[in-house]
Amino acid sequence: MARARLTAVSKLLVMVLWLTTSVPVAIAEVIPESHRLVGTGRLTVLFWDIYNIQLWAPDGHYRPDKPFALELQYQRSVDRKTIAKTSVEEIQQQANLERDLLADWQMQLIQVFPDIQKGDRLIGLYHPQMPSQFFLNGKLIGVIDDAVLSRHFFDIWLSEETSKPQLRLQLLGMESP
């Protein structure tokens, strides 16, 4: 009887440990083990929360020339064309680029990103020497092979030229959300 009770308690402890360590399954499956949380923030437009965002980097230290990951948990549904159009507009504000190039990039982004539903988790992995990979709810949805587009895309949040400097500081762990 005591042995059965001990086994039941052991099983319960294993289940509790499993639940507490495996809640962010999509994160654990996608973001490298060496990456730690650098900072977190929330994009709010007017009074609508759009997404929560987190920056992950090796040992929790972001360097633009090293691999990192951005994770967005959407609080609203957003269609792929809006994601692509808004991304290109943000890139255009930071860099004076040709219209044809921006139009090409917008088409590439439309092909990479699906329509997003409230509650979806989108993770982008950046590595300076490899194509950027994008995952939706733990499943690979696309890559960006163009290193220049990839860098400009992540700079939407991380560049000093970002249109959301407070959000950037939060991601870099320099300001509380």
Number of structural domains found in the chain: 1
Query: Is 15 inside a domain boundary?
Result: no
| Residue 5 is assigned to a structural domain of this protein | no
Is 8 inside any structural domain? no
Q: Which domain holds residue 142?
A: 24-171
In a domain, 81, yes or no: yes
Domain for residue 61, yes or no? yes
pTM (2 d.p.): 0.81
What is the pLDDT, as a whole number, of residue 1?
Answer: 54
Supply the CATH number for residue 104's domain: 3.50.70.10
Structure-token pair, residue 154: 């992540």
pLDDT tens, N- to C-terminus, the chain (177 residues)? 555 544 444 443 334 333 333 334 445 579 999 999 999 999 998 889 999 999 999 999 999 999 999 999 999 999 999 999 999 999 999 998 999 999 999 999 999 999 999 999 999 999 999 999 999 999 999 999 999 999 999 999 999 999 999 999 999 999 776
| 17 located within any domain | no
Q: What's the Rg (C-alpha) of the chain?
A: 19
Whether residue 95 lies inside any domain: the answer is yes
Give the integer Cα–Cα distance in Å for 49 and 57.
25
Query: Looking at the domain assignment, is residue 1 inside a domain?
Result: no
